Structure formats: C-alpha cells, structure tokens
Amino acid sequence: MSRYALVTADAGFEHLVRLAVAGLPGLLQSFQADYLPTDVDDIFGQLVGDPLEVLILGPDLKPEEALTFASVVDAAHPHVSVVLTATPTPDLALAAMRAGIRDLVPPETSMEGLRAHIERARAAAETRRAAAPPADDAAAGGGRGRVIPVMSPKGGVGKTTIATNLAVGLAKLAPLSVVLVDLDLQFGDVASGLMLTPERSVLDAVSGPVDSLSLKTYLTPHDTQIYALCAPRNPADADRITTGSVSDLIDRLASEFRYVVIDTSPGLGEHVLATLEHATDVVWVCGMDIPSVRGLKSGLEILEELHMLPENRHVVVNMADRKAGITVQDIEATIGVPVDIILPRSRQLPLATNRGVPVLQDGIRDPVAKGLRRLVERFRPQWDERDHKQLHRRAVFQ
C-alpha cells in the first residue's frame, strides 16, 4: 500500500493534500512545520507503516532549503519521489531536476490537478522501488511510532483525563496518526471520556486478525482525528485478554501509527508491564497527596530494579494546590526525579470530563489547558523544537 508524507504549516494546503490522496491507495502522514530539518532521518525516522513513496513539500517552505533537502533524500532514499509546491520558473525547474525532485506543483493547483501530480510521482516511485535491491525498502519505511503509556500506581489522579487530552493534542501535530488504547481493561473510561459508543473493543482486537487491513476495523474514530480502542464493556472480559496478546497488539499499532497513547490501569499489573516492554516514553501521573507520591516513588524504584524504565520519562503533578500541605519541591525530593508538568486544580477540567469533551478539543482558556499543551509539546519531533532560523544547514556531498 502506498504512503505519502507532507511537510507544511499551511493548514489550507494540508487539507487540499488530504482531499487529493483520499481516493488513492495508502495513508498520509503530515508534519506541521514551515521549515525542514538538517537530517532527513528526523522525518524518515518518524514514519510508520508502509514504505514511503511520495514526499510532498508545501508552498510555505523556502525553495533553496527544499532543493537541498530533496538532494539528500534522492541520495539516501532514491526510490522516494519528492514533489515541491512552488511557482515554476526556468531556473527553479533546472535546479529541481538536478536535486532529484520529481515534480513542481504550482501553489494554485486544484485538488484534481494535485492528485494527478501525486499519482505520477507514486507511479515513478513504484517503478524505481521494483528495480531497487530488497534492502532499499527497509531504508525508507517500516518505522515505528512512539508508544506512550500514561501510568500511575494509585487511582483517582486524573490519568484517563490526561491520556485523552494528550491524544487529542498529538492529533493536532499528526492528524489521523494517533491511536488511544484503553488498557484499564476492567474499569476503563476512555469511551465515556470521549463520548464514544464503540462497536468493538480491545477484546475483539486481540481475538481477531491484526493485519493492516483488519486493524482499523477494531478502532473507533473520534471528531478530533484520533482513533480509540476502548476497554471491554464487561469487566469479566479482562481475564480473557492475555499479556502476550496485549504485547502483540501494541507492537502492531506501533507499526501503523505515529503515536500510540495507552491509558493503563492503576498499579503495576501484568498488562502494564507488558505495555512497558514496548514503551518509548512513559507519562507518570501523581496527585498532590502523600499516598500518591509514595506510590510513584515505589513504582519508579521497582521498575528501575527490573530495568523496565523507558528512556523518556515525563512526570506530571495533577490537581496541584498550594493549600495541599506539600510542595512540588517536596514531591521531587521524594521521588528523586524532576517534575516536568504541573497541572493546577481547575473547575473547567471536571466539567469538560463530564461532558465527554477534552479540554484541548474545546479550546478552553485555562491554566490546566496550558499545562496540557506543554505536555503535548514534549512529543513534538526534535527538529520541530528548535529555532528554525538556525536550523537548516546546507548539505555537502563528497
């Protein structure tokens, strides 16, 4: 199945590209930025699923940077067709040809015209890939997404609320590339937190085939352009879900989605440990109370002894309150690691949760929403975190 990638910060152009590829085989992954990284692997390393065939560069990118980037792609991933959106001129057309760009698309091109350009680029990529050595396929695709369990040794600290908002926030960075999995198998609340009525659940996903074509039939789409895989309706069904099947499911989701956000059950049960084996990150959530802080300290110590702590750790203190009797500094001293995000106690958050509309979906202006956006920003691609004015350096080939 073909796959497309897009780099642009122009929301209108992104929408046009999505319409153009809607009738074509394959999925689109978008990177919302108006500049390019210094290293092509900063993009190719984020791709998941089928091998990339067409890379589309938006009209808001600087042509000189796009030309340099395209020349690197042509050298490192020769079967990928690069399409540049820019006003064609004789000089630009010559430079684009030398850089290995497959096609120049005028910014004012219609959706039908854009689709024709993309189809030609895809056909060229297929031809080149068919003639390439087998190892070339692996070089430009088959990557893995980030697996992000949201965890807490104690219940009642807002773990599900943070998981749903994190997924919704990530979908603004990568629409249709985020899946939220409810692995609180007995009492999961992701469905109610998103006001969903799922037809299928985790039980169906682990009981049936999990190939690329079948996988999305188990998922429930949400208005925020995320997919949700909800917990079983019957708590007794949790016993029918093995750790091995959970492990296989997460592995498959990570090969298809850029972000896999997992709402786990409280504690360190067997399903949680199976999740951690695949985790690239972990979001730890604790409240501003002594039992919650002590539970987090114990959890971190146990997982460190088991060598199961993911490299990327994000500690969130939820429902922070100056009148709680302890401070953030007290929490850091107890758990032995810094607190990354502080979410103050808020009246808006319970209201949003009860409505089934995450804060980051509703656009509520509230300190807790700012904190949640800061958490989302921690998962932005590295090249998208730095000052783009100093980012791009011209590549030199020897």
- pLDDT, tens only, 34-81: 999 988 988 998 888 788 999 999 999 999 999 999 999 999 999 999
Is 46 among the domain residues? yes
Residue 101's domain is classified under what CATH number? 3.40.50.2300
Query: Helix (H) and strand (E) counts for the chain?
Result: 17, 13
DSSP helix/strand/coil, 124: helix
Q: How far is CA 168 from the centre of its chain?
A: 10
**Confidence check: pLDDT of 135 > 50:** no
**In this predicted model, what pLDDT tens digit does every residue of 200-222 receive, in sequence order?**
999 999 998 867 778 889 999 99
**Which residues are within 8 A (CB) of 138 and not within 5 positions of it... i.e. 6 or more apart?**
51
We report the CATH number of the domain holding residue 316 as 3.40.50.300
Pair type for strands 54-57 and 3-7: parallel
Q: Is the pLDDT of residue 340 over 90?
A: yes
What integer pLDDT is reported at residue 180 of this predicted model?
98
**283: β partners:** 150, 314
3-state secondary structure of 83: strand
Residues 196 and 75 in one domain: no
Are residues 197 and 179 part of one domain? yes
77 Cβ neighbours under 8 A, 6+ residues apart: 40, 44, 52, 136, 139, 140
Tokens 């090249």: give the residue. 383
Whole-angstrom distance, CA of residue 206 vs CA of residue 212: 14
239 occurs within a structural domain = yes
Q: Both 192 and 110 in a single domain?
A: no
Range of the domain at 121: 3-141
Distance CA 207, CA 236 (A): 15
Same domain flag for 195 and 330 = yes
Q: 261 in helix, strand or coil? A: strand
Same domain (yes/no): 167, 299: yes
Specify whether the CB–CB gap between 178 and 259 falls below 8 A: yes
Whether residue 339 is contained in a domain is answered as: yes
261 in a domain, yes or no? Answer: yes
Residues 184 and 130 in one domain: no
Calculate mean pLDDT across residues 164-185: 94
The number of distinct structural domains making up the chain is 2
pLDDT band with cut points at 50, 70 and 90 for residue 25: confident
Q: What is the model's pLDDT at position 49?
A: 79
- Residue 351 belongs to some domain of the structure: yes
Confirm whether 397 is domain-assigned.
Answer: no
Average pLDDT over residues 371-390: 74
42 and 66 share a domain?
yes
Whether residues 111 and 158 share a domain: the answer is no
Which residues fall within 8 angstroms of residue 23, CB to CB, at 6 or more apart? Answer: 115
Strands 220-221 and 227-229 come out as: antiparallel
Residues 254 and 128 in one domain: no
Residue 139: per-residue pLDDT: 45
**Last residue within a domain, chosen from 122, 141, 160:** 141
In this structure, are 321 and 233 located in the same domain? yes
Q: Specify the 3-state DSSP secondary structure of 86.
A: coil
Which residue in 210, 352, 206 sits closest to 271, CA to CA?
206
Choose one of 81, 108, 141: the last residue of a domain. 141
For residue 193, CA distances in Å to 156, 271, 291 come to 14, 21, 25
- Residue 182 falls within a domain, yes or no? yes
Residues 104, 161 within the same domain: no
- Kindly state the tokens that stand for 90: 């004789």
Single out the residue of 225, 194, 167 nearest to residue 15, CA to CA: 225
CA quadruple 84, 226, 265, 271: dihedral sign: negative
Domain endpoint, select from 110, 141, 172: 141
Q: What does the block give as tokens for 340?
A: 């990354």
Asked if residues 143 and 45 have their Cβ atoms less than 8 Å apart, the reply is: yes
Distance (Å, rounded) from C-alpha 170 to C-alpha 244? 28
Closest CA relative to residue 259, chosen from 146, 165, 350, 169: 146
| pLDDT tens digits along 91-127 | 999 999 999 999 999 999 999 999 999 999 999 998 8
Judged against a pLDDT cut of 90, whether residue 144 lies above it is answered with no
Continuous segment of H or E residues that includes residue 281: strand 281-286
What does the chain come to in residues? 398
Structure tokens at 228: 């949700």
| Whether 151 and 136 share a structural domain | no
Is there a domain that residue 389 lies in? Answer: no
